[in-house]
Amino acid sequence: MACLYTIQEIAGKGRGVLAATSITKGTRIISEPPLFRVFRGGSSKEQLHEAILKTIADLNGEQRQQFLALHNAFDDESGPELGRVRTNALPLGSDAIEGGIFLDSSRINHSCIQNAQNTWNEDLQKLTIHALRDISEGEEITIFYLTDRPNRQARSEALLSSFRFTCSCSLCSLPTNERHKSDTNLDEIKRLDELIGDGMTIFSAPLQALHNVRKLLALLDNEGFADASVPRAYYDAFQIAITHGDMARASIFAERAASNRIMERYAKDPSEHSAYGYTGKWRTEMVDIPSGLDKDAYEGWLWKEEQNLPGDNDINMEYLGIIDGFHYSPIKHWCFLGEIIEVETIFRLRLIVKDKANHRVPIAFHTDEGGQELDQALLQHGYTVAILYAEHHGFLDMTEGIRHEVPSNIKIFPLPSRMPREMKTIAPPRPGFWWADSFSAP
């Protein structure tokens, strides 16, 4: 098979890797064993330098010359050997304690919106480079050097500190207004990733966690990122589904996350995962995957769009508008309606209401007076509760409901479930207003 790449001088970058022919998305471009390995932690600079010198001494003459031809970004403070290792070592796996020096792969330059992905293949004991999208003949092949993808300022600081260069890729070179939008998206990607990574939300608010994954994937797509963040997000969705016994959705998420044989196995039988059936809250079987739906309806089913309330971590610029440069006002309006079926007043008021789908929804009052500000005569079974801007909340006891904090946003009235007139004066219906009669999916 002809080599898919060449190594050439690139203006302003030194030597880099270019596509020798058109390369289609998913193609393995390079599969390369390390010239040598380097332990990445625990050793002092002196010990590391000594170990590198010993390793280089064991190379043959040609290998040694090839290593010394690699770029050294740290010549001012490290010896030439250690500087080249610091500049060119690539990790042998995520969170790996070892790095590797590669004569070809180490020459691949960085881009913040790269077109290739570097992955350590433990079975092959080789570093593989795969195309994340179609790459044209003559186009530079690039990878992403950092472990996360922060906004431009943070990226610039990290790249300058760790690799001694200022990035001028297409993402870093956006005009100011476009860069601001991109940075806002990147900050939101980071926020959502941290929320999803908090394992407790899988149990306390799984629907909110699942919707956060969907928002994360949409933002990644909007930014043009097609790297390992995408299958990792689908794996997060898989874990949420399988934890609650949802075999149908878990199999689809595993298929979309499939980047190795393990995920392919989970796609065929999700129950093999250790988290399977921790709860039966969403229990489905593989035969429950719907057929005959159009794309939008299918995606709505997959992501459980029955949930109509935004989560209490979901309120962002999609919902809010700046009114004076500092404060925010809703630009979307919504109202949750429910019928009172239980009233608890041990420490603070807690109502259990029933939505139109007969879901039991707890409303916990976290106002200054704990619910005492309400007319207590209205706390009766069958009365309707209306809450403006209600947010889906996961409580510490693993239940899901509404945490109510703003006294002016609630009305209770002895009428059928429709919006009371006095609430219409607060938020008159207009484009962007919706009813949230159903709290969550069954």
Structure tokens at 61: 């003459």
Kind of pairing between the strands at 400-404 and 360-365: parallel
Is 181 in the same domain as 260? yes
Same domain for 264 and 385, yes or no, is no
Read off the CATH number of the domain in which 349 is found.
Answer: 2.40.50.140
Say if 218 falls within a structural domain.
Answer: yes
Q: Which residues form the domain of 244?
A: 176-302
d(CA 84, CA 82): 5
Assess whether 296 and 327 both reside in one domain: no
CATH number, domain at 134? 2.170.270.10
Question: Do 334 and 257 lie in a common domain?
Answer: no
Q: Which two tokens stand for residue 102?
A: 């590669």
pLDDT (tens digit, 9 = 90+) per residue, 181-213? Answer: 999 999 999 999 999 988 888 888 898 899 999
Provide the CA 51 distance to its chain's centre, in angstroms. Answer: 38
Q: 180 and 159, same structural domain?
A: no
pLDDT lower than 70: segments of the chain = 1, 40-43, 76-78, 259-260, 306-332, 357, 415-442
Domain boundary among 108, 129, 163: 163
Asked if the structure places residue 118 within a domain, the reply is yes
Tell me if 310 sits within 8 A of 410, measured CB to CB. Answer: no
Looking at residue 245, its pLDDT comes to: 96
* Distance (Å, whole) CA 69 – CA 67: 5
Are residue 183 and residue 240 in the same domain, yes or no? yes
Q: What angle do CA 146, 218, 92 make, to 5 degrees?
A: 25
In a domain, 293, yes or no: yes
pLDDT, tens digit (0-9, with 9 covering 90-100), for 361-376: 899 999 999 999 999 9
Residue 239 within a domain: yes
Backbone CA torsion sign across 69, 72, 75, 77: negative
- Do the domain assignments include residue 308? no
**262 and 344 share one domain:** no
For residues 19 and 110, membership in a common domain is answered with yes
Residues 324 and 272 grouped into a single domain: no
Residues 288, 332 within the same domain:
no
Report the C-alpha dihedral over residues 364, 366, 370, 375, rounded to 10 degrees. -70
Domain count, the chain: 3
Strand partners, 352: 342, 362
d(CA 20, CA 2): 9
Instruction: Give yes or no: residues 297 and 328 share one domain.
Output: no
Sign of CA dihedral 80, 86, 88, 89: positive
Same domain? For 189 and 118 the reply is: no
Q: Answer whether residue 171 is part of any domain.
A: no
Q: Which residues pair with 129 in a beta bridge?
A: 30, 118
Find out whether 19 and 4 touch, Cβ atoms under 8 Å.
yes
Does residue 290 form part of some domain?
Answer: yes
Q: Can you tell me whether residue 124 is helix, strand or coil?
A: coil
On whether residue 145 sits in a domain, the answer given is yes
Measured in Å, how far apart are the chain's first and last C-alpha atoms?
54
